[in-house]
Structure 1
Amino acid sequence: MTLADLAGWVAPAATMIAAMMTAANLGTRVTGWGFVVFTVGSLAWVAVAVASGQNNLLLSNAFLTLVNLVGIWRWLGRQARYEEGSKTATQRSAAAKVPTLFSAGSVIGAPVTGRHDAKLGTVVDAMMRCDGAGLAYLVIGAGGVGGVGERLHALPPEDVRFGHAGVACDLSAEELRMRTVLEDGAWPATV
């Protein structure tokens, strides 16, 4: 097997694996490593382009290599530093005589547990008030698979507690199901 043949297999495989890693949105580290795999794929496509004389493939993947390097810097460099800073602040607040902190950046995608630690859903969004930077409500996605059949519910701040493991409330799954389902594109001004 020649180097060009090997690159011909590595290029599409790396591209597909990286696409799954980044599309899955499994967190900063996985997304960052997805860009590392994308870089391997784009470099393999460059090798295929050189071996086959395809200048358009060469130019597009040379550019994509630069884009992927920016993705690596953003997710494994900058964003990882931000997450480390918020993690440190959370740990320090837990040990100090101040209210424990919870990273706002980690709210979206956080699991929501209810009574008896039963998983109720996932935070889809957080609506903030402009008059004092307080939380107006959280939007919780519950049920369904991969967003299909998912119900969206609004939980006011008095119904939720933030913690290291995510968001908790005192609702059961049945009580959450009985709450108003939010319509796509028509979320309320208040709950």
Structure 2
Amino acid sequence: MSDGLLDALQYYGAAAATLAALLVSLNLGERWNGWAFVIFVTSSLALIAWGFLQPDSEGIGWQNVALLGINLVGVYSHLIRKRPGAERAPDE
């Protein structure tokens, strides 16, 4: 695997996780939080790939396998699940 691709996976994963965490921390609404979790999913996928392709980085890979599951729950919870009696505002 080329060093350039490994670097891209590593730095994309870190930058995407940082952006997603910022969006969640701003608490801009249900839809924004949902899209932040989509960004977290892409971050986890990049870091899973990086962790298992980079020598001696399997710990990051396994951590992101777990985080991927958590982030998918966040996507489901904020973007997919319909809550009974609750309608989303158009700007959320």
Q: Do they fold alike, i.e. is TM over 0.5?
A: yes
Residue by residue over 1:150-179, the C-alpha shift from the partner in whole angstroms, topping out at 9 and shown as x without a partner, is: xxxxxxxxxxxxxxxxxxxxxxxxxxxxxx
The whole-number CA distance in structure 1 between the counterparts of 2:31 and 2:21 is 14
Higher helix fraction: Structure 1 or Structure 2? 2
Letter in 2 for 1:86: E
The whole-number CA distance in structure 1 between the counterparts of 2:84 and 2:79 is 10
Tell me the CA shift for residue 51 of structure 1: 2.1
- In the alignment, which residue of structure 2 is the partner of 1:7? 9
- In the alignment, which residue of structure 2 is the partner of 1:97? none
- In the alignment, which residue of structure 1 is the partner of 2:34? 32
Structure with larger RCO (C-alpha < 8 A, sep 6+): 2
Residue by residue over 1:134-163, the C-alpha shift from the partner in whole angstroms, topping out at 9 and shown as x without a partner, is: xxxxxxxxxxxxxxxxxxxxxxxxxxxxxx
Q: Secondary structure at the match of 2:28?
A: coil
Over aligned residue pairs, what C-alpha RMSD do you find? 2.2
- In the alignment, which residue of structure 2 is the partner of 1:49? 51
The whole-number CA distance in structure 2 between the counterparts of 1:62 and 1:51 is 14
Larger radius of gyration, structure 1 or 2? Answer: 1
Tell me the CA shift for residue 49 of structure 1: 0.6
Letter in 2 for 1:19: A
Tell me the CA shift for residue 76 of structure 1: 0.4
User: For residues 136-147 of structure 1, what are the structure 2 equivalents within 5 Å?
Assistant: none
Task: Give me the identity figure in percent.
Answer: 31
Change in CA separation of 1:87 and 1:65 when aligned onto 2, cut-off 3 Å: closer
Higher strand fraction: Structure 1 or Structure 2? 1
- The unaligned stretches of length 5 or more in structure 2 are none
TM-score (norm 1): 0.41
Tell me the CA shift for residue 5 of structure 1: 1.7
Residue by residue over 1:73-124, the C-alpha shift from the partner in whole angstroms, topping out at 9 and shown as x without a partner, is: 000012xx33884359xxxxxxxxxxxxxxxxxxxxxxxxxxxxxxxxxxxx
